[in-house]
Structure 1
Amino acid sequence: MPSANCKSSTILLSPTESIDLISDESVDFIRFTLGFILDFPILIFGMSANIINMVVYITIGIGDTVSVSFFALSLVHFGCIFFYFAGRVFIVLKKIFNIESYIDLGAVFYLVAFYNCLFKDVADGIIVFIAVQKCCCVAIPFHFKNTFTYARSVSAIVIIFLAALAYYLPTFTGQWLGPVVDSLTNTTRLVYTYHPRILTLIRISKVFNGLILPVLSHSLVILCSVVLSIKLKRAVTFRNSRSPKEIVDKTNTKSLFSKKTFHKLDALHQESGNLNFSNKRLQKLKGKELKVVQAVYFTAILFIASNIGNVPIQFVGFFIPDFQDICGSRYYNTYVLVTSVQALLDHLGTALHIFIYVKFNQTYRRKLKALFCSNKPTTGDQRRGLKVESLVL
């Protein structure tokens, strides 16, 4: 059971007389500009975009491995942005509007902060799973369907979420809102209260969440993108180097000395007629293959660019103890600036996934357009096209 004797009131102070590269007067301006004027519109857009993503994928149907993965990614991205947005709202109400209530609003910010971290870690795990899934789709095409079945994909996503939940569960159960009596005003308020193990968990998360997970996830995403690109280039090169005529001539030469020459020639005659159609179909697939490569590249670049600052921030914190989120530390102001920019990039990357889906998924574009346009009757060919068309992503 959490210790009731360990209580801490949330006190938000402005840094004073800190020896830093950035002046103390600039901190409030940085927080207001980056954390409110720029970040709030991005957070609202990100929540709206992920709601749209979930609705579109439900409309398309989440009965395959691809759609269920991207639906889950949109869901956890929404949870990540929502809890961060909720925490920032409480901070704004306290700091800017000076609203005081029975519940310390600043304490609520600390409570929901760990839920934001939970959904962020789950989102990173799903992105890695999607990258591995796409890589295996090209690297082992004959075993892909048997390996990445729908049930296994759903199970993998559930396992990622349960693993993250088990990791954060000690933190969730070790913090709460506890009553504190103010002897001066003889009033009781609910403030942020925590168990001492929270401090230990924070130290562990700085290493595990700050260094190990980002480095591992970034490495896997980059590796999968490189393997996917190499495999597709080899497939296209091999396909372009063998024309239908070469295949027929080669097989015809081998069959001249066979006892079943006439049967093979007859089969080759039929095959040569089908190869022209097959070659045209393969040429058309180049566009889809190119879109797959571009989609994976953009997803990887967006994921890495929006999270690239987390590792240096934690790495510098190990060697420079004053570079941390404690008022009065030597480099506290610089820490506020760097982490504010990183949070802005993180939320921007979470919100921009909708543009990747629109760019590289024709079915997504049609369903998205149908959500905002009046429903028009479709012809039989259009209805059949919507059913037959496969997802590019």
Structure 2
Amino acid sequence: MADSAALNTSSTTLFALPYKQESQLITSVLLPTWPAIILFGLLANMINIAIFIESRIKDSVTILLCSLAVSDLSFLIFIIPFVTSYIALHFAPNWVWPIDRNIMFLSFQWPALTLYDFSCYTSVATGVTRCACVAMPLRFKSVFTKSRTVKLVIALFIVAVLLRMPVLLIYNIVLRPNPSTNSTGPFWVFRNKEIFAQVNDILNRQSMPYINFIIMIACVIILTTKLHEATRVRRSHAAHSHTEKSTHHPNDLKQPDTQRMSTKDIKVVQSVVLVCSIFVVSQLPFSVFSTARLIEPEFDNSGHYKHLFTACSAFSYTCYFLNASVNIFVYYRYNSKYRTTLLSVLKRKAAFDQQSNIK
């Protein structure tokens, strides 16, 4: 009996799930920030949409930016039930759910993630158009027309939905007794979960993100190379022009200085690099631990490393929420038209409020 007890104790110790305390610490710190980030993201994206509509959508880049704001706003709205359930499950694990909690988790999670995928594809398309705007300015307007951009946005949304179809086929709702409430209610039933989950990992957490990474990085490289080439040409012309100016009238010195890179070009480079960095940071965690899940099947929400998986998921979702919320800072810093329109709207609102108070 003693040997048996010792064996049982050894087995319990050997197969104890690791990283439980670390996971609880990470999730306890991150989860309380989610409502604040989501609330700010909802407000920021509504402001973005209002500003783009106010500025009258006239070009392909504005169409893409407005589509991105709509997608981010929709993602944050759809993710609220999932976030609410996730927080409740963490801080009140013994709470009796009136319905199957998987319904709260999954009914809105996958549509929300589909919208997030659409946001990612739209971000990549925005990076490509910004790159083309500088790399081939003469052909930009003829290639990226408004009608073509609208069709591209619709196509990207259809692609996002089709790529998420494998996980939508996993679930089915059935009625069965609920022992917690002593009543019959709806429950999620999984079908071929492992197969479809692997297909989803390969498509949406590995293949497409890495393709997006390559495209975004290629845009930055092409854009930076073009600007450096233009700078060298300008410096050569400026040096030649300076030699000629020394033999001409001093008023010739009032001609524009072509040695400097234009402020607009610098802003484009900085904005594309920043968008790429935000995109990579937000997508990379999910892609990395999805790859790890393919290598180690126990790294899952029901496996030996489920606590570590939970911590990684919480961190990844935090990156998702931030990515869908911080674009307003990028637009305000690097988009002069956006900044001018926003300040104009704020001034009109302040004037209207002042007149209302006088009356």
Q: What TM-score bracket applies, with the shorter chain setting the length? A: 0.7 to 0.9
What are the residue-to-residue correspondences of 1:244-393 with 2, within 5 Å?
A: 246=241, 280=256, 286-326=262-302, 329-375=303-349
Aligned length: 335
Q: How much does 1:209 deviate?
A: 1.1
Among candidates 177, 181, 186, match of residue 190 of structure 1? 186
Shift of 1:375: 4.4
Question: Can you give the 5+ residue segments of structure 1 that lack an aligned partner in the other structure?
Answer: 1-15, 250-271, 378-393
Q: Which one-letter code corresponds to 2:231 in the other structure?
A: V
Q: 1 CA distance for matches of 2:85 and 2:141?
A: 47
Contact 1:307-1:346 within 8 A present in 2 as well? yes
Q: For the Cα contact (< 8 Å) 2:163–2:203, is it kept in 1?
A: no
d(CA) in 2 for partners of 1:117, 1:277: 57
Write out per-residue CA displacement over residues 64-87 of structure 1, whole angstroms, 9 at most, x where no aligned residue. 111111000111112222222221
Cα distance, 1:62 vs structure 2: 1.6
1:110 aligns with 2:106: yes
Indicate the larger mover: 365-374 or 240-249. Answer: 240-249
Secondary structure of residue in 2 paired with 1:45: helix
- Residue 211 of structure 1 deviates from its aligned partner by 1.1
Q: Quick one: which amino acid aligns to residue 107 of structure 1?
A: I
- Opposite residue 105 of structure 2, the aligned amino acid is F
1:231 matches 2:222 = no
Inter-partner Cα distance in structure 2 for 1:355 and 1:207:
33
Any idea what SS the aligned residue of 2:77 has?
A: helix
Per the TM alignment, residue 18 of structure 1 is displaced from its structure 2 partner at its CA by 8.6
Give the aligned residue type for 1:60. Answer: S
User: 2-side partners of 1:145 and 1:151: how far apart?
Assistant: 11
RMSD of the alignment, in Å? 3.2
Q: CA deviation at 1:371?
A: 3.7
Match of 1:165 in 2: 161
Distance 1:146 1:184 in 2: 63
Distance in 2 (alpha carbons) for counterparts of 1:39 and 1:182: 30
Secondary structure at 1:241's aligned position in 2? helix
Letter in 1 for 2:185: R
1:155 counterpart = 2:151: yes
Query: TM-score, with normalisation over the residues of structure 1?
Result: 0.75
Report which stretch shifted further, 99-108 or 71-80: 99-108
Structure 1: distance between partners of 2:275 and 2:36: 22
Q: Which position in structure 1 is the counterpart of 2:214?
A: 219
Structure 1 residues 135 and 18, CA gap change in structure 2 (3 angstroms): farther
User: Are residues 281 and 118 of structure 1, via their aligned partners in 2, closer, same or farther at CA, if it must alter by over 3 Å?
Assistant: farther
Which residue does 2:131 correspond to in 1? Answer: 135
Instruction: State the alpha-carbon separation in 1 of the partners of residues 218 and 199 from structure 2.
Output: 27
Give TM-score, length-normalised by structure 2.
Answer: 0.82
Structure 1 CA distance, aligned partners of 2:294 and 2:142?
45
Q: Which runs of 5+ in 2 are unaligned?
A: 1-11, 352-359
Paired with 1:175 and 1:313, the residues of 2 have a C-alpha distance of 23
User: d(CA) in 2 for partners of 1:152 and 1:184?
Assistant: 54
Contact 1:128 1:217 in 2 (8 A): yes
Cα distance in 1 for residues equivalent to 2:323 and 2:59: 25
1:181 aligns with one of 153, 177, 180: 177
- Indicate conservation of the 8 Å contact 1:87/1:108, yes or no: yes
Max Rg structure: 1
1:323 deviation in Å? Answer: 1.3
SS of residue paired to 1:48: helix
* In structure 2, C-alpha distance between the alignment counterparts of 1:19 and 1:335, rounded to whole Å: 17
Counterpart residue identity of residue 312, structure 2: V
User: Does the CA contact (< 8 Å) of 1:177 and 1:190 recur in 2?
Assistant: yes
Q: CA deviation at 1:298?
A: 0.8
Partner amino acid for 2:256?
K
Q: CA deviation at 1:27?
A: 3.5
- In structure 1, what is the Cα distance between the partners aligned to 2:84 and 2:295? 33
The CA distance in 2 between the partners of 1:278 and 1:238, in whole Å, is 20
Are the equivalent residues in 2 in contact too, given 1:292–1:360 (CA < 8 A)?
A: yes
For residues 79-118 of structure 1, give each alpha carbon's deviation from its aligned partner in whole angstroms, at most 9, with x where no partner exists: 2222222211133445646665653344221121111221
